[in-house]
Amino acid sequence: MSNEYKAEHIQVLEGLDPVRKRPGMYIGSTDERGLHHLIWEVLDNSIDEAMAGHCQNIVLRIHTDGSLSVSDDGRGIPVEKHKQTGISTVETVLTILHAGGKFGGGGYKVSGGLHGVGVSVVNALSSRTEVTVEREGKKHFVAFEAGEPKEPLKSIGDSSKTGTTVQFWPDGKIFETTDFQFETIKKRIRQQAYLTKGVTITLFDEREGKENACQFYFEGGIASFVQHINEGRESIGSIITFEDEKEDTAVEISLQYTQEFRESIFTFANNIQTIEGGTHLTGFMTALTRTLNKYGRDSGFLKEKDQNFTNEDVKEGLTAIISVKVHEPQFEGQTKSKLGNSHVRGAVDKIASDKLREFLAENPNDAKAIVSKCALATRARLAARAARDTVIRKGALDGMNLPGKLADCSSKDPNKSELFIVEGDSAGGSAKQGRDRYTQAILPLRGKVLNTEEARLDKILSNNEIKSLVVALGTAIGETFEIEKLRYQKVVIMTDADVDGAHIRTLLLTLLYRHFKALVLNGNIYIAQPPLYKLQKGKQVWYAMTDNEKEKIQKEYDVKGDNIQRYKGLGEMNPEQLWETTMDPNTRTLARVTVEDAEKADHIFKVLMGSDVPPRKKFIQTHAADVKDLDI
Ligand code: 0RA
C-alpha cells in the first residue's frame, strides 16, 4: 500500500461536458436509481480511504434543502497544485473526468469506485457541489455549480482534524426525481459496513422534522454478514472465516452450512456486488468441491462405490460471502456484474483450498456434519435425475414432447415467439382466441402451482403443471438446463389482478427464480399488465390500468357510474379486449422481471415461500395490487 501519495499519480483524461449531455452513459439512468448512483460514487471514495486503513468513520446526511453530504475522517483529498492541470488536486478530481488515484494506478492499491466514473460525474450532474477538506492543520473549501468552479479553493480556518466532506445538490434539470430514499441508502451502507471491517457508517435523515438515523459497524466484517443471513436458519457447524493475499489479490471468505436446500452465496469484487459471479466464485467452488471430496475419501466417509460430490451438491444449504480486492477489476456480463480477471480464479482456489483443508482437519465434528449434508444432496440429485429421466422417457413414448394443453405458436423462431402463462382455463380460452397465432403461444395452468421453495427437484418434476411448463420452455431443468434451447424469447405471466392472481404469480416467480434464474437474469420473464377498468361513453372506450388513471379519464371525458366496469379477472374480458389491452405488442404494457438484487430476492422469496405463514400472508395482502413496480 503506497502511503506516499503523489499528485502525479492522477491521470487526466477529459472535461465534464459529455457527462451533462449524456448522463445515462455515466450513471446508467436519470431515474431514482441514477440519483442514488451519485451517492454510491461519493461514498466509494470514503470507503476506499477506509479500505486503505486511513478512515474509521463515515457520516451521510440527507439535508432538508435537497442535498446530501458524505463526510469521512480520512486523510483528506490533497489540496496542493496538480502538475498536469495547474489547479489544486481537489479541483482536478472534481472537474476532470476519470481523474482520480484509482485510474493512475499509483494512488491506491485497490479501489471500489469502479461504478466507476469518479466524483467528477457527481459534480457535473449537481446544480451545486461543496467540498470541505481538513488536512495539514487547515480547513479548505471549494464550490462548484453544474460542474463549473464557482468559489475557488480557499482556506477557511484552522483544523486539528483530517477528513473530507462532499455535499451535492442533484440537478433537478437532469434527474426525474431528486428524492433520496432512506431505506435504499441504509441497505447500501449496511452492506458496505459488512465488507469494510471496523468502519462505522452513519446515516442521518434530516427531512420533515423527523430525525431518522441508523448506524452500522461490524467488528466481524463478512462473518457478521453470514451470521445475519443465517438468522433463523438451522446451521450446520460453525462459521468458517479466512483471509489471505496472493498474486495481488486480497481474498476474504466466510461461510457456514445450513439445513436449507438453497444456497445463499454473495460475491463482491472491490466491494461491488457481482451478481453474475465470475472468476472469484468459480475459484471458490472448485476449491470447495475438491476439498470436500478429498476429505470425504481420505476420512473413509465416501466409499469407493460412492459418486463424487458435484458443485451442486456442495452448494446445497451453503451460505457464503466471497469478497476479493483486485488491482484492475474487469467487469463483464449482461449487467457488468461478473468478475473477469482470470488470475483471481487461481488465487481464490489456492487460498480457499488451503484454509478449508486446515479447517476440516482441525474440526472433525463440523467436517463430518458438512460431508453428511453433501452426501444427502448427492442422493437427492440422483433421485431427481431418475425422476427426470422418467419424465423425458414418458414424453418420448407419447410421441409428442409438447404438452397437450399448450396452444403453441406457428413460428419456430424463438426470437419472434412469446409464451403466455395464463391462470385458469377460461382466461386461457380467451387468450387462445385473442392471440396472434403466429408469434404467441398460450399455456393455461390450473390450480396453484406447486410451492417450490422447500421442494427438491425430484418432487417438483412430479408436478404435472410444472412438467408442462418445463417442456414448453424447452430448456430442461437442473443440471441439464440449457438457455440456448429456450423456445420463446418472452415468457409472460398473465394472472388476474386479485389476491389469488398475486399468489399464483408469486409461485411462478419463485419457480423461475429458483430453477430458471438464467431466464430472469437474461430478461426473458415478463408480467402482463391487464387493465383494471373499462370506461365507455357512447362508442368511445378507454381502459385504465390504475385507479388514478380511471379517475383522470372520468374527469376529462365526463364518464359516469354505469359506464365503468371493473375487471375482476381476465376471464371477464372477451378475446378482442384481451388482445387489445394486454397482448397486442403495439398497445400493451409488459413489466420486465429483473433480479436487481439477489439478496433482496432471496429474502422476499423466503418470506413468501418459507414455512413461516404469517409474514407471507401479510406480504401478499400488502403487495397484491402493485404489480407495476416489480422488483423481485
Ligand atoms: C488521494 C490521495 C489521498 C487521499 C485521497 C485521495 C482521498 C480522497 C477522498 C475522497 C473522499 N474522501 C477522501 N479521502 C481521501 C491521500 C493523500 C495523502 O497522502 O495524504
Is the pLDDT higher at 272 or at 419?
419
Instruction: Decide: 178 in ligand 1 pocket, CB within 6 A.
Output: no
The pLDDT tens digits for 503-521 are 778 778 878 887 888 999 8
Instruction: Report whether pLDDT(617) > 90.
Output: no
3-state SS class at 52: coil
Question: Are 196 and 50 spatial neighbours (Cβ–Cβ below 8 Å)?
Answer: yes
Q: Which option is the CATH number for 399-530+591-626: 3.40.1000.10, 3.30.70.2860, 3.90.600.10, 3.40.50.670?
A: 3.40.50.670
Is the pLDDT higher at 477 or at 377?
377
- Residue among 136, 498, 576, 612 flagged as catalytic: 498
Q: Which option is the CATH number for 17-216: 3.30.565.10, 3.40.190.10, 3.40.50.2000, 3.40.50.150?
A: 3.30.565.10
**What span, in angstroms and rounded, lies between the C-alpha atoms of 509 and 527?**
10
The mean pLDDT value for 97-124 works out to 58
pLDDT at 334: 73
Instruction: Report whether pLDDT(454) > 50.
Output: yes
Nearest to 517 by CA among 329, 334, 254: 334
Summary mean pLDDT of the chain: 85
pLDDT at 251: 97
Q: Is 31 a catalytic residue?
A: no
**What span, in angstroms and rounded, lies between the C-alpha atoms of 620 and 217?**
33
Is the pLDDT higher at 539 or at 101?
539
Instruction: Report whether pLDDT(220) > 70.
Output: yes
Instruction: Decide: 45 in ligand 1 pocket, CB within 6 A.
Output: yes
- Residue among 41, 252, 408, 423 flagged as catalytic: 423
Is the pLDDT higher at 275 or at 447?
275
- Which of 197-211, 454-468, 542-556 shows the lowest mean pLDDT across its residues? 454-468
Percent of the chain with pLDDT over 70: 84
CA of 75 to the centre of ligand 1 (A): 5
pLDDT at 36: 96
- pTM for the whole structure: 0.66
Q: Provide the CB-side half-sphere exposure for 336 (13 A, CA).
A: 8
* Phi-psi map region of 523: left, alpha, beta (phi>0 left; psi -120 to 50 alpha): left
Q: Is 496 a catalytic residue?
A: yes
Question: Are 92 and 99 spatial neighbours (Cβ–Cβ below 8 Å)?
Answer: yes
3-state SS class at 65: coil
**Which of 1, 8, 72, 77 for a ligand 1 pocket mutation test, highest count of atoms within 8 Å of Cβ?**
77
Helix, strand, coil shares of the chain, percent, nearest 5, are 40, 25, 35
Name 262's Cβ contacts closer than 8 Å, sequence gap at least 6: 316, 317, 514, 602
CA of 46 to the centre of ligand 1 (A): 8
pLDDT at 584: 96
Nearest to 369 by CA among 299, 463, 322, 427: 299
- Max alpha carbon distance in the chain (Å)? 86
pLDDT at 4: 46
Neighbours of 150 (CB within 10 A): 12
pLDDT at 399: 37
Q: Is 14 a catalytic residue?
A: no
Instruction: Decide: 57 in ligand 1 pocket, CB within 6 A.
Output: no
Q: Is 436 a catalytic residue?
A: no
Percent of the chain with pLDDT over 90: 58
For the chain, what is the radius of gyration of the CA atoms?
28
pLDDT at 457: 64
> For residue 580, what is the DSSP state?
I
Name 188's Cβ contacts closer than 8 Å, sequence gap at least 6: 36, 39, 40, 43
Nearest to 344 by CA among 275, 271, 246, 272: 246
Highest mean pLDDT among 277-281, 401-405, 585-589, 619-623: 277-281
Angle at 213 between CA 211 and CA 214, to 5 degrees: 170
Pick the residue whose CA is nearest to atom 8 on ligand 1.
77
- Split at pLDDT 50, 70, 90, the class of 632 is very low
Instruction: Report whether pLDDT(131) > 80.
Output: yes
- Split at pLDDT 50, 70, 90, the class of 596 is low
CA of 104 to the centre of ligand 1 (A): 14
Pick the residue whose CA is nearest to atom 7 on ligand 1.
77
CA of 76 to the centre of ligand 1 (A): 5
Name 484's Cβ contacts closer than 8 Å, sequence gap at least 6: none
- Which of 15-19, 99-103, 581-585 shows the lowest mean pLDDT across its residues? 99-103
Q: Ligand 1 atom closest to Cα of 70?
A: 11
The mean pLDDT value for 189-213 works out to 90
Q: Which residue is associated with the grid cell 380467451?
A: 430
Question: Domain residue spans in the chain?
Answer: 17-216, 222-384, 399-530+591-626
pLDDT at 446: 76
**What span, in angstroms and rounded, lies between the C-alpha atoms of 3 and 101?**
12
The pLDDT tens digits for 304-359 are 888 899 999 999 999 999 999 998 899 998 778 899 999 999 999 999 999 999 99
pLDDT at 573: 87
Instruction: Report whether pLDDT(83) > 90.
Output: no
Question: Are 339 and 329 spatial neighbours (Cβ–Cβ below 8 Å)?
Answer: yes
Is the pLDDT higher at 569 or at 38?
38
Highest mean pLDDT among 195-209, 602-616, 617-631: 195-209
- Split at pLDDT 50, 70, 90, the class of 10 is very low
Pick the residue whose CA is nearest to atom 18 on ligand 1.
5
CA of 1 to the centre of ligand 1 (A): 13
3-state SS class at 333: coil
| β-strands 200-205, 212-216 pairing | antiparallel
Instruction: Decide: 118 in ligand 1 pocket, CB within 6 A.
Output: no
Burial (Cβ within 10 Å: 0-12, 13-18, ≥19) of residue 594: middle
Instruction: Decide: 46 in ligand 1 pocket, CB within 6 A.
Output: yes
Instruction: Decide: 580 in ligand 1 pocket, CB within 6 A.
Output: no
Instruction: Decide: 107 in ligand 1 pocket, CB within 6 A.
Output: yes
**What span, in angstroms and rounded, lies between the C-alpha atoms of 460 and 454?**
10
- Residue among 244, 306, 332, 500 flagged as catalytic: 500
Q: Provide the CB-side half-sphere exposure for 124 (13 A, CA).
A: 26
Q: Which residue is associated with the grid cell 389482478?
A: 497
**What span, in angstroms and rounded, lies between the C-alpha atoms of 269 and 278?**
10
- Split at pLDDT 50, 70, 90, the class of 604 is low
- Split at pLDDT 50, 70, 90, the class of 117 is low
The pLDDT tens digits for 28-76 are 899 999 999 999 999 999 999 998 899 999 999 999 999 999 999 999 9
The CATH architecture to which 222-384 belongs is 2-Layer Sandwich (3.30)
